[in-house]
Structure 1
Amino acid sequence: MKLLQALFFPPEQPGGVSSMIPYLQDKFNPPEWEMELFSLPKRIRGKGTDQIKFHTFDWHQYDQSSIVRKYIQTYRDYLWWTKLRLQQSYDLIHAHHPIAGLVMKEVFPDTPVVQSIHSSYERELILNGKIKEGGLEHRFLCSLYKELELRTDRMLTVSQSFREYLSPHVQHPERIGVIRNGFDDTRFKPIPHHNEVVQLVTVCRLVPAKGLDVLLRACAELKKRGLVYVLHIIGDGPIREELEQLAEELGIYDETIFYGYTLHPEEFMPFFDIFVLPSRAEAFGSVFAEAALCNLALVGTNIGGIAEQIEDGVNGLLVQPENHLALAGALEKVIVDVEYRCQLAGAGLDKAKNYYSLKRVVHELKNIYLHYKR
């Protein structure tokens, strides 16, 4: 069976898709399976000129928005690149971005397209202060879900909570399948170690949606309480300078290390003690599963896919978003009580191995793919 995994970003980009899809290739072995990866290179900008038409709505009613126009141009570019680069046929295409799915169905109308939705671009834009809830851009992006429902052959997402999020935007939410992300656990090698000073780590894109301002305020509270720690922030993004300034204003700049973007954080994540990320929204939160596989204690917010991964007090700790005092309290628990921290980390590792293995994802995907075998 000849498969195409249609990504939007190149597979080396950070995120849940890139932490899973490239590793599927080794599990779909010839001659029964052949798998290719496809994505839009960053250098492709402004190449496409095709007229874009959707079946369920007229996008021109939103074209006053520069964000919508940019999205449509990206659609045109992806369509241009697909027509240029893909000349052969496939038995099935699995798309991992709305643009990828709609373009693939346009170029290969007779080929089954399975569409996975990994996150909410519109929610991210709202939380990052780029668009307004209920505005033109929000309505445009939400309209795409019904278009995907009509044109693709199967819709999947990564958590029950995200399926609930999608439900108002489609006609048949009960038909959306859930396949949680999976990880090749051979990439993660927990290392026995002892840090005299507790090492906190977070890995994410530096944008408002990740709640790092809340984390810095929580860490300032920890320092006020006399607790000693180091916070490692791995990732880059548009608010890095703002976060560095906030750390300085809060008096915790010396306790905070900003690394910038790192390609394989899992290689040194096992040397830390606690993973913390107070996201304001998260469809799945792959980095929590990755941190658990590194045997770190987990502290996150009680939202979306994070709350499906963490059972509070069993394999990690959950707090409400936006509450830096509650976050400081949770961090204090796992900083001062080493035994409790190790207990949470061990339970988190066990759950991640059992629930988020790549083998499980491969088995579930093969069952879906074989349904469309001709």
Structure 2
Amino acid sequence: MKLLQALFFPPEQPGGVSSMVPYLQERFMSPRWEMELFSIPKRIRNKGRDKVLFDTFDWRQYEQYPVVQKYIQTYRDYLWWTRLRIQKSFDLIHAHHPIAGIAMKSVFPDTPLVQTIHSSYEKELILNGKIEEGGPEHQFLVSLYREMEHKADRLIAVSHSFQHYLTPYVQNPQDISVIPNGYDEKRFKPIPHENEVAQLITVCRLVPAKGLDILLKACAELKKRNQNYVLHIIGDGPIRPELEEMARQLDIYHETIFYGYTLHPEEFMPFFDVFVLPSRAEAFGSVFAEAALSCLALVGTEVGGISEQIEDGVNGLLVPPDNPKALADALEKVIADPAYRYELARSACDKAKSNYSLSRAVNELKKMYLKFPH
């Protein structure tokens, strides 16, 4: 069976898709399976000139808005690059981004399409203050879910929470499959270690949706309570300067290390003690599974896929979003009691190996792919 995994970003980019899809390839290399990856390079800009029409809604009612204009042009560019680069046929295409799926079906209308939706771009834009909830750009972006449903032969969400989120925007939500991302266990090597001072780590894009302002306030509260820690922030993004300034104003700059973007954080994640990320929204939260496989204690918010990964008090701690005091209380529990911290970390690692292994994801995908004629 000849498979094409259609990404948007190149596979070395950070994020849930890149945590899984490039590692699928070696698992599918056998006489029975042949798999290729496809993505659009960042340098491709303003090449596409196609007239764009969707089957389920008229996007032109939103065409005066810059977010919509950029999205449509990116879709045109993806179409242009697909036609230029793909010269062979496939038995099935599995797309991992809305633009990739809709474009692939336009170019290869007779090829079965499986579409995984990994995140809610519109929700992130709202939380990051880029668009208004219920506004025209929001309406355009959520209309794409119905278009994806129409185009795809199978729609997949990465968590039950995200499946529920999609319900108002599609015609048959009961037909959406749920397959969480899988992670290659060989990439994660927990290391026995004892840090005299608790080492907290977070890995994310530095944008408002990730709630790092709440994390810094919680850490300031920890300092007031005389709890010793070091906070390591891995990632980059538009709000880095204001986060650094906030750390100074809260008098925790010396306890906080900003690393910027790092390609493979899982290589040194096992040396830390606690993974914490107080996201305001998360379709799945891949980095929690990666931290669990690195045998870190998990502290997260009761949102989206995070609350499916963490059972509060069993394999991590959950707190409400936008609540610095609750986050400080949870962090204090794991900082002050290393034995409890280790117990949570072991449970998190066991659950992640069981529920989020690459082997499990591969088996589920193979069963799904084989349902299509080839």
- What is the TM-score when the length of structure 1 is the normalising length? 1.00
SS of corresponding position for 2:244: helix
Please tell me the residue identity of whatever aligns with 2:118: H
Provide the residue aligned with 1:206 in structure 2.
206
Partner of 1:20: 20
SS of equivalent residue, structure 1 residue 226: coil
Percent identity of paired positions between Structure 1 and Structure 2: 73
1:372 alignment partner in structure 2: 372
Render the CA deviation track for 1:331-365: whole Å, top value 9, x for unaligned. Answer: 00000011100100010010000000000000000
Following superposition of structure 1 onto structure 2, how do residues 315-330 of structure 1 map, counting pairs within 5 Å? 315-330=315-330
- Per the TM alignment, residue 36 of structure 1 is displaced from its structure 2 partner at its CA by 0.4
1:59 counterpart residue number: 59
Residue equivalent to 1:215: 215
Match of 2:47 in 1: 47
Deviations 1:79-125 (A, max 9, x none): 00000000110000000000000000000000000000000000000
Q: Which amino acid in structure 1 is aligned with residue 337 of structure 2?
A: D
- Cross-structure match for 1:292: 292
User: In 2, Cα distance between the equivalents of 1:104 and 1:110?
Assistant: 10
Map 1:206-245 onto structure 2 (within 5 A): 206-245=206-245
Residues 123-153 of structure 1 show CA distances to partners (whole Å, capped at 9, x for unaligned) of 0000000000000110000000111111111
Distance 1:373 1:325 in 2: 55
Unmatched segments (≥5 aa) in structure 1: none
Name 1:115's counterpart in structure 2.
115
CA distance in 1: counterparts of 2:149 and 2:25, whole angstroms:
27
- Corresponding position of 1:196: 196
2:344 aligned with 1:344 = yes
Deviations 1:174-228 (A, max 9, x none): 0000001110011000000010111000000000000000000000000000111
Instruction: Within 5 Å, give how 1:58-77 maps onto structure 2.
Output: 58-77=58-77
Other-structure match for 2:271: 271
Distance 1:65 1:277 in 2: 32
| Alignment correspondent of 2:251 | 251
Classify the secondary structure of the residue corresponding to 1:257.
Answer: strand
Give distance in 1, aligned partners of 2:46 and 2:342.
51
For the residues of structure 1 that align with 2:148 and 2:268, how far apart are their CA atoms? Answer: 39
- Superposed CA deviations along residues 32-83 of structure 1, whole A, max 9, x for unmatched, are 1000000010000000000000001110000110110000000000000000
2:159 maps to 159
CA drift of 1:6 comes to 0.2
Q: Distance in 2 between matches of 1:195 and 1:58?
A: 57
What RMSD over aligned residues (CA atoms) do the two structures have, in Å? Answer: 0.5
Q: Deviations over 1:269-325 (max 9, x none)?
A: 000000000000000000000000000000000110000000000000000000000
**Structure 2 residue matching 1:216: 3-state secondary structure:** helix
Aligned residue identity for 1:154 = R
> In 1, distance between residues paired with 2:160 and 2:116?
13
Distance across 2 between alignment mates of 1:84 and 1:311: 47
Q: Distance in 2 between matches of 1:192 and 1:55?
A: 55
| Amino acid across the alignment from 2:373 | K
Gapped runs of 5+ residues in structure 2?
none
**Letter of the aligned partner of 1:371 in structure 2?**
K
Letter in 2 for 1:172: N
2:106 is matched with 106
**Partner SS state of residue 370, structure 2:** helix
**Distance between the aligned counterparts of 2:235 and 2:22, measured in 1?**
21
How far has the Cα of 1:29 moved from its partner?
A: 1.6
Partner of 1:2: 2
Q: How many angstroms apart in 2 are the aligned matches of 1:46 and 1:249?
A: 42
Instruction: Give, as a single letter, the amino acid of the residue that structure 1 aligns with 2:206.
Output: L
Q: Please say if 1:363 is aligned against 2:359.
A: no
For residues 71 and 358 of structure 1, the distance between their equivalents in structure 2, rounded to whole angstroms, comes to 31
Distance 2:152 2:351 in 1: 33
Alpha-carbon distance, 1:30 to partner:
2.6
CA-to-partner distance for each residue in 1:14-38, whole Å, 9 max, x for gaps? 0000000000001002311000000
Provide the residue aligned with 1:146 in structure 2: 146
Alpha-carbon deviation of 1:2? Answer: 0.3
Amino acid at match of 2:184: D
Following TM superposition, by how much is the alpha carbon of 1:373 offset from its aligned partner in structure 2, in angstroms? 3.0
- The AA in structure 2 aligned to 1:13 is Q
* Matches of 1:137 and 1:14, distance apart in 2: 26
Task: Give the partner amino acid of 2:192.
Answer: P
**Number of residues paired by the alignment?**
374
1:132 — aligned with what? 132
